[in-house]
Structure 1
Amino acid sequence: MQMLKSNHKDAYALILDAIDIGVYKPGDRLVESELADRFGVSRTPIREALQRLETQSLLTRDGRSLIVASLDHNQLAELYVVRTELEGLAARLAARHAAPEEIRVLREMVQEDRALLGDPGALARANRRFHKQIHLASHNRYLVQQLDLVHRSMALLATTSLAVDGRGELALEEHEAIVSAIEKADGEAAYQALKHHLSAAFETRLKSDATAAQAAE
């Protein structure tokens, strides 16, 4: 199992990062003693971190055990509604406020990420980095904070839509359209391009989930 190294003792951030990168997946049981050994942290901050994560619905109870939560169909749909609107707003604001340097970074990300096609895990990490850069380019700290909360919940998805054949190429084309709109300072076009991007990702995920459910029958 992948190990995480850190020079700080923020147990909450360590566990959250482990969930985000897939060390712990939905349904996995989290045990205080094992987490303390893994991260080199005493059990008290681990216990406090687990309580905090449970309060945020990132962990749930299975009897006496805490497990990484999963999202049902309705929760997934609700999450995408909120994410789409907030990220669309971020793109709109980025079109107004992004510095030329920020736009160049976004464009470079799209170009560099083409080398990751065929590696869904790496592409998913790069995708999160790209979206985070748009959040920051909005220059609205309160919006960034809300999007951070949304993306924590996205970590509860066990798979990435980018693993579906052909989705990676389409996603990068959609990223290109978002950056082009931001570069032209066209807020409405940026908003619509990002909404289209997330709608396509959601549709891909729904189809993938339906196929998986049918195969399991």
Structure 2
Amino acid sequence: MAEPRAPQKDAYGLILDAIDTGIYRPGDRLVESELAERFGVSRTPIREALQRLETQSLLTRDGRSLIVASLTHSQLAELYVVRGELEGLAARLAARHAAPEEVRVLRDMLEADQALVDDPEAMSRANRRFHKQIHLASHNRFLVQQLDLVHRSMALLASTSIAADGRSEDTLREHDEIVKAIEAGDGDAADEALRTHISMAFVTRLKLDAAAVEAAE
């Protein structure tokens, strides 16, 4: 009897996760042979994954090389506008359709995240999990797909806004308002709370970017 074949690793997912977790940052060059060696995947699926990521504008050309894309100020503003609209809708739908168990998970996440306020990277990962749970609780597959695309683009930001002083604590307070609204089944309040959360994150991002520009001058 033939040995079962090991499942082929998902090259696209591996590269995307490496960008999302900061292994590869905006401006980093991605070399097909190096990626194949790092992930233990043949070069053909790596090549196909790179083409797919370029099509999605997560990678861009620098001469003949592919590099991780970065967002201009205008692109950043556009991204946050779309994110606010879609995230607000997800919270509104979650308030209507989330099962009691899904709401309980959100509350448990929020309580567990209290221990992470001094670890910006861990808090950033927890923040992504929290938002993903709201997306799923909306029970709208098409909205979840669009939000996945938005959050992939968020990976092109070189740092997390949660690293700013006091932002972890503010994030938890904002998350608490979102969960309270979803628990109450108040779609309007959930929508507003989520939009406010995204707006405050954008303000923090703009301040961080302005400070980085000033430091470089």
Task: Quickly name the TM-score band, shorter chain normalised.
Answer: over 0.9
Quote the residue 1:203 is aligned against: 203
Q: 1:122 corresponds to which letter in structure 2? A: A
TM-score, normalization: structure 2?
A: 0.96
2:72 corresponds to 1:76: no
Quote the residue 2:45 is aligned against: 45
Partner secondary structure for residue 33 of structure 1? helix
Question: Root-mean-square deviation (CA), in Å?
Answer: 1.0
2:177 corresponds to 1:177: yes
Q: CA deviation at 1:8?
A: 4.2
Q: Within 2, Cα distance between the matches of 1:28 and 1:211?
A: 22
Partner secondary structure for residue 18 of structure 1? helix
TM-score, normalization: structure 1?
A: 0.96
Q: Within 1, Cα distance between the matches of 2:137 and 2:7?
A: 29
Quote the residue 2:131 is aligned against: 131
Quote the residue 1:11 is aligned against: 11
Q: Within 2, Cα distance between the matches of 1:126 and 1:193?
A: 18
Quote the residue 1:164 is aligned against: 164
Q: Within 2, Cα distance between the matches of 1:150 and 1:8?
A: 27
Q: Within 2, Cα distance between the matches of 1:214 and 1:18?
A: 29
Q: Which runs of 5+ in 2 are unaligned?
A: 1-5
Quote the residue 1:153 is aligned against: 153
Quote the residue 2:61 is aligned against: 61
Partner secondary structure for residue 70 of structure 2? coil
How many pairs were matched up? 212
**CA offsets 1:63-110 (integer angstroms, 9 cap, x no match):** 111000000100000000000000000000000000000001000111
Partner secondary structure for residue 156 of structure 1? coil
